[in-house]
């Protein structure tokens, strides 16, 4: 039944929000528990409604575990490259970044993949175009340098186009 999936979503959100709320306050009393439960329910329903309205509800697949593992290394490597690029720019050497089209692996959810890729200093996503059937979405990404991070390798499964 389809609404059972929605109920599971709401309950999961509610649990997370309830625990977060209890973590944030300093003293826990019964009134606080009631308030946390009630507002958590409202917020969980709102969150599930917003997710459904944004149209990204189906885009969850893909190698998210491996991508999450590759993310911290990518952040550190890109910060080092950004530092080198800043030093070069301060010294006066002109260079420009460029836009690049990157194709995701088929079946990768583009919402979380774009967010994860933009969370690294080396690239940020500017546009998403749905790919042909059987292929992944095509992202327009702005990059500063030429070397791609391991995270990009996990998400795209290959070289840049």
The stretches of the chain forming alpha helices (DSSP H) are 2-24, 30-54, 64-91, 110-118, 150-156
Q: How far apart are CA 82 and CA 87, in angstroms?
A: 9
Of the ranges 6-14, 56-64, 84-92, 146-154, which one interacts with another protein (CB under 8 A)?
Answer: 84-92
Closest CB 2 distance from another protein, rounded Å: 27
In the set 29, 31, 58, 96, which binds another protein (CB under 8 A)?
96
Q: How far apart are CA 2 and CA 11, in angstroms?
A: 15
Residue 86 interacting with another protein (CB under 8 A) = yes
Exposure pattern of 3-29 as b/e (b: 16+ CB <10 Å)?
eeeeeebbeebbeebbeebeeeeeeee
| Nearest Cα to Cα of residue 79 among 29, 31, 121 | 121
Nearer residue to another protein within complex by CB, 5 or 88: 88
User: Count residues contacting another protein (CB under 8 A)?
Assistant: 34
Residue 23 interacting with another protein (CB under 8 A) = yes
Closest CB 135 distance from another protein, rounded Å: 18
Residue 104 interacting with another protein (CB under 8 A) = no
Residue 107 interacting with another protein (CB under 8 A) = no
Q: How far apart are CA 155 and CA 102, in angstroms?
A: 10
Cα R_g (the chain), whole angstroms:
20
Contact positions vs another protein (CB under 8 A): 20, 23-24, 26, 75-76, 78-79, 82-83, 85-86, 89-90, 94-97, 99, 114-116, 118-122, 124-127, 140, 142, 144
């Amino acid at each position: 039944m389809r609404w059972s999936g929605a109920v599971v979503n709401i309950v999961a959100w509610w649990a997370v929000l309830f625990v977060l709320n209890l973590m944030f306050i300093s003293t826990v009393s019964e009134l606080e528990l009631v308030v946390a439960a009630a507002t958590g329910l409202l917020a969980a329903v709102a969150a599930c409604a917003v997710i459904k309205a944004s149209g990204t509800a189906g885009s969850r697949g893909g190698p998210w575990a491996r991508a999450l593992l590759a993310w911290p290394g990518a952040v550190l490597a890109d910060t080092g490259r950004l530092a080198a690029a800043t030093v070069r720019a301060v010294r006066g050497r002109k260079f420009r970044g460029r836009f690049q089209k990157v194709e995701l692996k088929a079946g990768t959810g583009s919402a979380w993949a774009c967010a994860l890729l933009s969370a690294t200093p080396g690239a940020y996503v500017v546009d998403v175009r749905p790919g042909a059937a059987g292929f992944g979405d095509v992202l327009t990404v702005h990059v500063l340098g030429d070397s791609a991070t391991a995270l990009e390798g996990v998400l795209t499964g290959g070289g840049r186009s």
